[in-house]
């Protein structure tokens, strides 16, 4: 066991791979939002807003790679870990500047944007954070600070920027402000707060684990207030856990609803032609839209019993029978007649489509030129001709703008033909193709 423990310590030892001075300098240099960083941030926010507005994931990813938003968060956590109060204050100030610029830029974009999607899925995805976002931010932040600290840099930072997704929530806040939707604003701010806090927490833990020297000396007694941190983490995590539980329940409800509908597509002489789930209702509701004959109480009871297997109660199922036949039951003759009438309409529609396709095919077949046959006949009469090209086109009059069909014959010969021979070939082609719209051109083989 002692050998195994020693092996694990050696395997996880970071001291040899950590660039303490380089990491400290890099973090401190990237916290400021002045000069180019301000314009880069604004550009990244606009790009991300466009991507969210048009539901384009590649554009959103590109904006996250451009954006420098992680700098102040890493600086804040690094300052806490090394007891550098000045760095903490500077990072917080730049963090607030970054948030303000991002929200203003995204709000301005969405106010001016003419595009209004009916279902902006990428925007809505940033309004309901869950415990899974906490895990992504925590482990993404840990990977980010370890990449910043190691001597041999790789491409981890790019992946962290994409995974933790700090920019899209800020853009969604701007979208919520532009349409005055408080739930969007609060949900997106909550997601951004989750990402920021847990990236900072992971960074702080890594700084302590790697034993970065304290800014005030190794013997400093200042410590991060653990109770306050614990209280903040609980306040942040608990709503995200609740959101995750709701997400799982809603997903399960949708899966169970689909199974119920699949098993009861046709029941009795009626059938389910459509369905949806209302997840905003408490509890959620499954709406079934029926057609055919109205369901009997026995048929409804069958659906209720099957739904109870999945934990869906009777009160959560709503039957909509506006399209069903009420009153007397449909006779077997009426049912068969209805089926035949529908089949006849489908057959008629298919026959019309086939006739239209045949007409189009005949038209193009009539337009096809017998190039192979004409070539053999022409080569037999004029051995000097080595190649024939026949093609259809349109001739346009520059004065009137009128167009007419034209057939062009391009001859390739060993020696240039005389005008009399070209005239005979043109007259022969007019007779063979039954048209006067023929132009003959000649080129000499090289």
Residue 155: predicted pLDDT: 60
Q: Is the pTM of this model over 0.95?
A: no
Q: Are 40 and 21 in contact (CB under 8 A)?
A: no
For the chain, list residues with pLDDT below 50.
217-221, 327-330
Q: What SS3 state is found at 168?
A: helix
Q: Are 300 and 319 in contact (CB under 8 A)?
A: yes
Residue 218: predicted pLDDT: 40
Residue 124: predicted pLDDT: 65
Alpha helices in 150-272 (DSSP H): 156-164, 167-178, 182-209, 226-263
Options 3.40.50, 2.40.50, 3.30.70, 1.10.10; which CATH number does 251-325 get? 3.30.70
What whole-number distance in Å separates Cα of residue 42 and Cα of residue 167?
Answer: 11
The CA-atom distances, in angstroms, between 440 and each of 71, 181, 392 are 73, 72, 12
CATH number for the region 12-215 comes to 1.20.1080
Q: Are 440 and 426 in contact (CB under 8 A)?
A: yes
Q: Are 176 and 185 in contact (CB under 8 A)?
A: yes
CATH number for the region 371-444 comes to 3.30.300.30
Residue 328: predicted pLDDT: 45
Residue 340: predicted pLDDT: 58
Residue 213: predicted pLDDT: 81
At 17-71, the pLDDT tens digits run: 777 788 888 888 878 777 777 888 888 888 888 888 777 778 877 777 777 778 8
């Amino acid at each position: 066991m002692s050998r195994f423990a020693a092996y694990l310590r050696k395997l996880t030892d970071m001291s040899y791979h950590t660039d303490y001075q380089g990491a400290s300098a890099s973090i401190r240099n990237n916290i400021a939002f002045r000069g180019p960083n301000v314009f880069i941030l604004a550009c990244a926010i606009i790009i991300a807003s466009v991507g969210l507005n048009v539901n384009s994931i590649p554009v959103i990813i590109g904006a996250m790679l451009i954006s420098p938003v992680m700098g102040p968060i890493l600086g804040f956590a690094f300052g806490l870990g090394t007891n550098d109060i000045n760095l903490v204050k500077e990072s917080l100030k730049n963090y607030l500047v970054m948030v303000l610029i991002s929200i203003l830029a995204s709000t301005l974009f969405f106010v001016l944007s003419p595009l209004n999607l009916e279902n902006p899925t990428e925007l809505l995805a940033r309004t309901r954070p869950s415990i899974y976002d906490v895990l992504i931010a925590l482990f993404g932040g840990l990977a980010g600070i370890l990449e910043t600290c190691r001597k041999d840099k790789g491409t981890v930072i790019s992946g962290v920027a994409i995974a933790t997704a700090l920019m899209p929530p800020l853009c969604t806040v701007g979208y919520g402000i532009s349409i005055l939707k408080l739930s969007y604003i609060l949900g997106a701010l909550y997601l951004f707060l989750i990402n920021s806090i847990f990236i900072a927490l992971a960074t702080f833990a890594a700084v302590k684990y790697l034993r970065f020297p304290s800014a005030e000396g190794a013997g400093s007694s200042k410590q991060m207030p653990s109770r306050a941190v614990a209280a903040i983490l609980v306040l942040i995590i608990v709503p995200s856990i609740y959101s995750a539980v709701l997400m799982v329940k809603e997903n399960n409800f949708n899966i169970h609803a689909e199974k119920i509908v699949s098993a009861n597509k046709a029941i009795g002489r009626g059938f389910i032609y459509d369905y949806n789930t209302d997840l905003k209702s408490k509890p959620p509701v499954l709406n079934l839209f029926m057609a055919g004959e109205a369901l009997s109480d026995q048929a409804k009871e069958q659906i209720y019993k099957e739904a109870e297997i999945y934990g869906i109660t009777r009160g959560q199922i709503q039957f909509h029978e506006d399209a069903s036949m009420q009153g007397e039951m449909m006779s077997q003759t009426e049912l068969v007649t209805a089926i035949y009438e529908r089949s006849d309409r489908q057959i008629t529609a298919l026959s019309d489509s086939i006739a239209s396709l045949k007409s189009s095919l005949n038209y193009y077949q009539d337009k096809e030129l017998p190039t192979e046959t004409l070539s053999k006949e022409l080569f037999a009469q004029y051995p000097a001709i080595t190649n024939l090209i026949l093609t259809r086109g349109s001739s346009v009059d520059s004065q009137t703008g009128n167009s007419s069909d034209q057939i062009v014959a391009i001859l390739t010969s060993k020696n240039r033909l005389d005008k009399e021979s070209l005239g005979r070939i043109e007259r022969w082609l007019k007779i063979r193709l039954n048209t006067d719209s023929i132009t003959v051109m000649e080129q000499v083989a090289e």
